[in-house]
Structure 1
Amino acid sequence: MAEGTKHPQKLLLFYLTSHRPFGLGTLKIREIMPFVPLTRLPHSHSAVVGTMSFRGSAVPVIDMAAAVGYPPLTAEERKTASIIVTDIQRREIGFLVRSVRKIVETEWKDVMPPPKSLGDRAFITGLVTIEDQIVQLLDVELLLARVYPESVDPGEVVLTDVQRETLKGLNILLVDDSQVARKQLSDALDSKDVTYFVTTNGQDALDLMINANSDGRPIDILVSDIEMPGLDGYELTFNVRDSSSLNQPYIILHTSLNSEMSVSYAKQVGADEALTKFDAEELLHAILRGAERD
């Protein structure tokens, strides 16, 4: 791998049960704090255990174990539990976990995709071995979609006839390892009758782009997630920009992280734009900007 593509990823390791470690990228995390008394939210999802005050805002707190199918933490277990306050998909969310272990450093190339035998209901996007233990990386987007199903609805976006026809003339490639994110991206384009390609990882995307280029129908717009097992969005972008044989697409990196660092690094590796998931109107207009480039 080229030196320019190296981008170490820090993971917070934590437990939902007494023995199985899970991981979450630290760029998503605002703060880790001990359990505090919560205000109950009526008519909320069963995994939402209440709200807490965080830096002047009311932040919902989700029992992560209950949300992914494990028994919820008991009142006694909560006394020694931790709350991970995150900034994901334009909102602050607190996750109640049994315990926090430590922060480790790894690289996305070391992360393996989950076995297909787990099916579409698994709340993990990848597996990585840390100190001889397999750590499961949580699919936070899927978790939030189950707790807040309305967040998956892309909403109606109004485009002119000219804009619709412009989108239909493009070869668009969507890349994301999260099934929820893929559905959001696909729904946004399906609603405008726009055709596209879709892959679940960076390596498949790169292979598809090479084949499309050979067939004389190169990809015009690449919309890729950043955090993916194997070839992540940064590396995919770097490899595309570093290739002399590929027609150069307009590259939009798409991330659940509300982070200036992510945007800055996206530009460094050659992305044209970096967007925070998920705003259908913002995405479609970014694609249109790519179509209108000189």
Structure 2
Amino acid sequence: MAGVMDSVNQRTQLVGQNRLELLLFRLNGKQLYGINVFKVREVLQCPKLTVLPKSNPVVRGVANIRGATIPILDLDMATGSVGLAASTDTFVIITEYNTKIQGFLVHSVERIVNMNWEEIHPPPKGTGRDHYLTAVTRVDNQLVEIIDVEKILAEVAPTSEAISVGVVDEETHSKAVSLRVLTVDDSSVARKQVTRCLQTVGVEVVALNDGRQALEYLRKMVDEGKRPEEEFLMLISDIEMPEMDGYTLTAEIRSDPRMQKLHIILHTSLSGVFNQAMVKKVGADDFLAKFRPDDLAARVVDRIKAAV
């Protein structure tokens, strides 16, 4: 237990400092890619894969790793390229997204770098709508592309966005139409998922792309004499975002007396034992793993009932 707590303490030192660690890797070619170390469980040489009949071509097979059967996705093929050869010359990055475990087949793994989220930028304008990037950065003068893994997972194994019958009653839905919710997420897929879910509840949604944009939006609001807690029922924010992460956004909001009463839920694909300690440290009101429509809708319903 002491070892776990030491690890939590070490990781939480970065919280509120707008920092992250990226694991750098390559697919086919020289292009560098990055993935947040928080998402990574382990890296290993590609194990023997068992092909699943009629599965998505991106799923190269499943592997038995430490007693668990884990799907292995070809990131090169998922992003529109020819794909990699699954062999002992390639590697698998075992990750946890949205409480699900999967491996990503890559050509090689380079190293881990510690960076500031301010050095991570949205994809350049003109990239188009069909790209698979959620952000870009530079390491040693080399461009590093950060793949929108949520988009890939949504295409390979679509998640239901429907809310179960009974989660939202008619009275709550009627109250919701006069309320607004502010959401922040750098993934276009995640923004659409959250927006559709909240619109089903009945609230109006204002969706922004990253923490920096959200903070500037809120500061402009309070400069105009408005109170965010009166304008919005709540803020639902992703954690991993270019320019400013959700932890830092929350800490900035809590440090400003003009906006510190805004109810904040951190809604993220990051999983694991560190999140509750991090949420408590920055002062968020709640933490919710992506993407569970019923759970998200229930949190909004609870807020509506408490606020109205």
The two structures have a TM-score, normalised by structure 1, of: 0.92
Contact 2:46 2:88 in 1 (8 A): yes
Q: What corresponds to 1:240 in structure 2?
A: 253
Number of aligned positions between the proteins: 288
Q: Give the Cα separation in 2 of the matches to 1:102 and 1:143.
A: 23
Q: What corresponds to 1:17 in structure 2?
A: 28
Q: 2:136 aligns with which of 127, 134, 148?
A: 127
Q: Any stretches of 5+ residues in structure 2 without a counterpart?
A: 1-13
Q: What corresponds to 2:81 in structure 1?
A: 70
Q: 1:271 aligns with which of 259, 266, 284?
A: 284
Amino acid at match of 1:62: L
Amino acid at match of 1:187: R
CA distances 1:81-108 after superposition (whole Å, capped 9, x unpaired): 0011111112111110001011111121
- The SS at the match of 2:201 is coil
Amino acid at match of 1:284: A
Contact 1:65 1:73 in 2 (8 A): yes
Contact 1:120 1:179 in 2 (8 A): no
Please report how far the alpha carbon of residue 4 of structure 1 lies from its aligned counterpart in structure 2 after TM superposition: 7.4
* Comparing 262-271 and 225-234, the one that deviates more: 262-271
Q: What corresponds to 1:140 in structure 2?
A: 149
1:256 aligns with 2:263: no
Amino acid at match of 2:277: S
Query: Where do 1:105-254 residues align within 5 Å?
Result: 105-148=114-157, 150-151=158-159, 153-157=160-164, 158=166, 159-213=168-222, 214=224, 216=226, 218-246=231-259, 248-254=261-267
* Comparing 107-116 and 172-181, the one that deviates more: 107-116
Please report how far the alpha carbon of residue 292 of structure 1 lies from its aligned counterpart in structure 2 after TM superposition: 4.5
Q: 1:34 aligns with which of 20, 28, 45?
A: 45
- The SS at the match of 1:172 is strand
Contact 2:151 2:189 in 1 (8 A): yes
Amino acid at match of 1:234: Y
* Comparing 283-292 and 48-57, the one that deviates more: 283-292
Q: Give the Cα separation in 2 of the matches to 1:97 and 1:14.
A: 7
* Comparing 63-72 and 206-215, the one that deviates more: 206-215
Q: Give the Cα separation in 2 of the matches to 1:43 and 1:4.
A: 43
Q: Give the Cα separation in 2 of the matches to 1:93 and 1:235.
A: 28
CA distances 1:194-220 after superposition (whole Å, capped 9, x unpaired): 211111111221232234443645223
Q: Give the Cα separation in 1 of the matches to 2:57 and 2:225.
A: 51
Amino acid at match of 2:43: I
Contact 1:123 1:139 in 2 (8 A): yes
Q: Any stretches of 5+ residues in structure 1 without a counterpart?
A: none
Amino acid at match of 2:271: N
Contact 2:254 2:260 in 1 (8 A): no
Contact 1:209 1:219 in 2 (8 A): no
The two structures have a TM-score, normalised by structure 2, of: 0.88
Contact 1:170 1:221 in 2 (8 A): no
1:6 aligns with 2:10: no
Q: Give the Cα separation in 2 of the matches to 1:260 and 1:287.
A: 24
Please report how far the alpha carbon of residue 247 of structure 1 lies from its aligned counterpart in structure 2 after TM superposition: 5.9
Q: Using a 3 Å threshold, how does the CA distance of structure 1 residues 41 and 4 change in structure 2: closer, same or farther?
A: closer
Contact 1:48 1:62 in 2 (8 A): yes
Q: Give the Cα separation in 1 of the matches to 2:214 and 2:77.
A: 34
- The SS at the match of 1:191 is helix
CA distances 1:40-62 after superposition (whole Å, capped 9, x unpaired): 11111111110011222211101
Q: Give the Cα separation in 2 of the matches to 1:4 and 1:183.
A: 27
* Comparing 114-123 and 249-258, the one that deviates more: 114-123
Q: What corresponds to 1:50 in structure 2?
A: 61
Contact 1:253 1:274 in 2 (8 A): yes
Q: Using a 3 Å threshold, how does the CA distance of structure 1 residues 247 and 84 change in structure 2: closer, same or farther?
A: closer
Q: Percent identical across equivalent pairs?
A: 33
